[in-house]
């Protein structure tokens, strides 16, 4: 009779391939080169992290009202930020009127929040979105500017800080996207005159730096306009930023349009849809979905580019911070100021890029692997 043998129970995997040890062997010490690199990087971190933490947290000054309290500590002087905080957010907006800015911001948050919640039904989202696009700018403008409904007028030259940065970025984004879509459609058009106009427009704006555009809007625009007619400085910057980014947006959207097969347009035509309906209902929804990363990248670039209005003397977040660091009473805290401004810009840009990644995942309906 054959002897029945029980199989030997499975051996556990060697200790060096599982758990924390195995992970370290695989990811940190897999070859002599990697061991050296890990050692070098770990040494650099060992030196840099304590320096950084000591400067930013442990040796920093947090409370107080003037620069004298910072003399005793070797770390950062966050008092500088605390003292100037309101200025960084509102610029030279009159203190008594700042509630108007807060209300506008609150309205924006309340209005926009449902758009990001998945359970809200789509028709409500569409109505809210349209309200935000059409009604909100008017409400916000009236609130910020005043001069109506008994609100005292606050001239645009007194808007500043993060408020101004957000105004420029918001207006730029909402205006540049539709303009960019139109330009992209024009560039793909079969009408030679329209196509030439659009190509010239796009290539011109894409070929010059934003600074020269802003210079142009501040020194050349007054020459172009009839005598006596003049634009607000902020409006000129807004026009410059919008036209500039619309050209970049147009190229991004064109990429999406080119990726939609011709059969889609032909099918739309066969169903009896005209050009605009075919574009609005069939082509653009697919094309725009494909280029979400590109659109958000353009938005991020626009947000960062708002800092350039410093060149023409508008007091956005960047300029307000820079201005505060050159204040004779607070000299020597430029590092703190720039780190603060960088953190604010970083927060906005980074969250935009993360949101676009999640949106891309959600709208991903099986075109890609």
Partner 1 sequence: MTELSAPPVKPPFWNNPQVRAILFQAVALIATVAFGLSIFENTQDNLQRLGIASGFGFLSSPAGFDIIQTLIPYSAASNYGQVFWVALLNTLLVSALGIVFATLLGFIVGVARLSKNWLIAKLALIYIEIFRNVPLLLQIFFWYFAVLRAMPAPRQSLSLADTFFLNIRGLYLPAPQVQPGFGWVLAVLGAAIVLAISMARWARRRQMATGQPFPVLSTTLALLIGPPLIAFWLAGSPLHWQVPELSGFNFQGGLVIIPEMASLLLALSIYTAAFIAEIVRAGIQAVSHGQTEASFSLGLNSGMTLRLIILPQALRVIIPPMTNQYLNLTKNSSLAAAIGYPDLVSSFAGTTLNQTGQAIECIAITMAVYLTISLLISLVMNWYNRRVALVER
Q: Minimum distance from CB of 113 to partner 1 (Å)?
A: 23
What is the helix, strand, coil percentage profile of the chain, to 5?
75, 0, 25
Nearer Cβ to partner 1, position 128 or 161? 161
> Interface residues with partner 1 (CB under 8 A)?
27-28, 30, 34, 37-38, 41-42, 190-194, 197, 203-204, 206-212, 215-216, 219-220, 222-227, 300, 304-305, 307-308, 310-311, 318, 322, 325, 334-335, 338, 341-342, 345-346, 349-350, 353
Q: Minimum distance from CB of 213 to partner 1 (Å)?
A: 9
Sequence-distant (6+) residues with CB within 8 A of 160 are 87, 90, 91, 92, 93, 314, 315, 316, 319, 320
Cα(76)–Cα(333) distance, rounded to whole angstroms?
8
Give the DSSP per-residue string, 314-342. Answer: --BHHHHHHHHHT-GGGTT-HHHHHHHHH
Q: Minimum distance from CB of 357 to partner 1 (Å)?
A: 12
Nearer Cβ to partner 1, position 154 or 278? 278
Q: Minimum distance from CB of 211 to partner 1 (Å)?
A: 5
Nearer Cβ to partner 1, position 6 or 193? 193
Nearer Cβ to partner 1, position 37 or 135? 37
Nearer Cβ to partner 1, position 100 or 254? 254
3-state SS assignment for residue 31: coil
Q: Minimum distance from CB of 114 to partner 1 (Å)?
A: 27
236 close to 215: Cβ distance less than 8 angstroms: no
Q: Minimum distance from CB of 136 to partner 1 (Å)?
A: 26
List C-alpha distances in Å: 199 to 211, 240, 249, 343. 22, 18, 13, 38
DSSP 8-state symbol, 231: -
Which residues, in sequence order, are bridge partners of residue 61? 77
């Amino acid at each position: 009779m054959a002897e029945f043998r029980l199989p030997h129970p499975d051996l556990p995997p060697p200790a060096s391939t599982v758990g924390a040890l195995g992970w370290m062997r695989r990811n940190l010490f897999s070859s002599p080169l990697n061991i050296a690199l890990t050692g070098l990087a770990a040494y650099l971190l060992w030196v840099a992290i304590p320096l950084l933490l000591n400067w930013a947290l442990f040796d920093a000054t947090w409370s107080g009202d003037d620069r004298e309290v910072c003399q005793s500590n070797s770390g950062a002087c966050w008092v500088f930020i605390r003292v100037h905080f309101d200025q960084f957010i509102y610029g030279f907006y009159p203190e008594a009127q700042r509630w108007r800015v807060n209300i506008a911001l609150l309205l924006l948050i309340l209005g926009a929040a449902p758009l990001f919640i998945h359970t809200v039904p789509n028709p409500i989202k569409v109505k809210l979105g349209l309200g935000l696009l059409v009604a909100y700018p008017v409400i916000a403008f009236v609130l910020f500017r005043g001069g109506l409904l008994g609100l005292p007028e606050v001239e645009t030259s007194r808007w500043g800080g993060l408020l101004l940065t957000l105004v420029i970025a918001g207006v730029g984004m909402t205006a540049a996207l539709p303009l960019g879509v139109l330009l992209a459609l024009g560039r793909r058009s079969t009408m030679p005159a329209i196509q030439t106009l659009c190509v010239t427009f796009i290539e011109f704006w894409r070929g010059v730096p934003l600074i020269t555009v802003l210079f142009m809007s501040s020194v050349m625009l007054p020459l172009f306009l009839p005598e006596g007619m003049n634009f607000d400085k902020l409006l000129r910057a807004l026009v410059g930023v919008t036209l500039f980014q619309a050209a970049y947006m147009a190229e991004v959207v064109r990429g999406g349009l080119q990726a939609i097969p011709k059969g889609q347009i032909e099918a739309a035509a066969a169903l009896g849809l005209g050009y605009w309906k075919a574009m609005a209902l069939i082509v653009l929804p697919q094309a725009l979905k494909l280029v979400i990363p590109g659109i958000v990248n353009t938005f991020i670039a626009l947000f960062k580019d708002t800092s350039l209005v410093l060149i023409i003397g508008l007091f956005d977040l960047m300029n307000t911070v820079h201005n505060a660091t050159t204040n004779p009473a607070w000299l020597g805290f430029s590092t703190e100021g720039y780190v603060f401004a960088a953190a604010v810009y970083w927060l906005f840009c980074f969250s935009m890029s993360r949101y676009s990644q999640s949106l891309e995942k959600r709208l991903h309906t099986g075109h890609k692997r």
